[in-house]
Amino acid sequence: MTRLAIGISTCPNDTYAFHGLLSGAVEVPGVELDFVLADVEELNGRLLGGTLDVAKISYHAALRADGSIAMLSAGSALGFGVGPVVLGSKRRAERTGPTRVLTPGALTTAALLWELFHAGEAETVHVRFDQIPGALSQGRAELGVCIHEARFTWERWGVDWVEDLGQRWEAETKAPLPLGGIAARRDLGEDLLARLDDGIRRSIDCAKKDREGALRTMRAHAQELDDAALWQHVELYVTDDTYRLSEAARAAVRTLERRARAAGLLAAGPELVILGR
């Protein structure tokens, strides 16, 4: 039996997709999974730092890897209408000095998009994603690049909607936006990675068949969403590309890589390996 440390976020799309595996209803033959649920930027650092074997990480982080990881075909958050949004403090006109923008972590795709579209326009400060709306509400920063539930809950914070970075990406590239996916150590071997890939797909199938059980799993980890918002989150972020990456999705990852390298935001490195077809 191979024991693996696997990290996913607490966001409803992840806990829904991994419901079967988290609940024990689905197993990966020959593998015991030790789950860690954490913020995406923590998962980025832990996977790249080698303290996790498998993790949901940002595609930005994956593109910065050294070739020792591969992306699975199952488990991605990728699509249209799913991008990070820029919110603004209603008190931003009162502040003096450089404009400050909060992002949910240096390795997040959200931070990469901000730099692609707004490089040099503000002083960037990286904080945990769930701290951004409150900081904007309190006027501690002018702008914030927000992910996850902030797309659904932003109005309750008394902030302004400034820009949808995903919509801008779609307008410029005509491609879906690659937010994050399941990365794994390549030295685990093709057979084990294929079993993990299959296990995630069976876990998604389990969630589809067991909606009440999946809802309980999501509720156990949700930050601040009611049931309707949980399902809205799943409908937006869990797509056919979560089940299996399409050719269009794979091409979108290459587009993100090309644009980031052309802008000088990524150093030269090996092409990201994406498994399966």
Which token pair is 237? 């972020």
The beta strand positions in 115-253, using DSSP E, are: 123-126, 143-146, 160-164, 177-185
- Closest CA relative to residue 109, chosen from 181, 37, 12, 200: 181
Parallel, antiparallel, or unpaired: how do β-strands 31-37 and 160-164 relate?
Answer: unpaired
Query: Treating both helix axes as pointing N-terminal to C-terminal, what angle do 109-118 and 247-262 enclose, rounded to 10 degrees?
Result: 50
Give dist(CA 152, CA 170) in Å, integer: 20
- Closest CA relative to residue 144, chosen from 155, 158, 159: 159
118 is catalytic: no
Angle of CA points 110, 200, 234, to nearest 5°: 50
Alpha-carbon dihedral angle through residues 14, 128, 179, 19, given to the nearest 10 degrees: 0
Phi-psi region of 189 (alpha: psi -120 to 50; beta: other; left: phi over 0): left
User: Are residues 112 and 265 in contact, defined by beta-carbon separation less than 8 angstroms?
Assistant: yes
Query: Treating both helix axes as pointing N-terminal to C-terminal, what angle do 227-237 and 211-221 enclose, rounded to 10 degrees?
Result: 100
Catalytic residue, from 19, 60, 148, 233: name it: 148
Instruction: Give the three-state DSSP class for 94.
Output: helix
List, by residue number, the catalytic residues.
Answer: 148
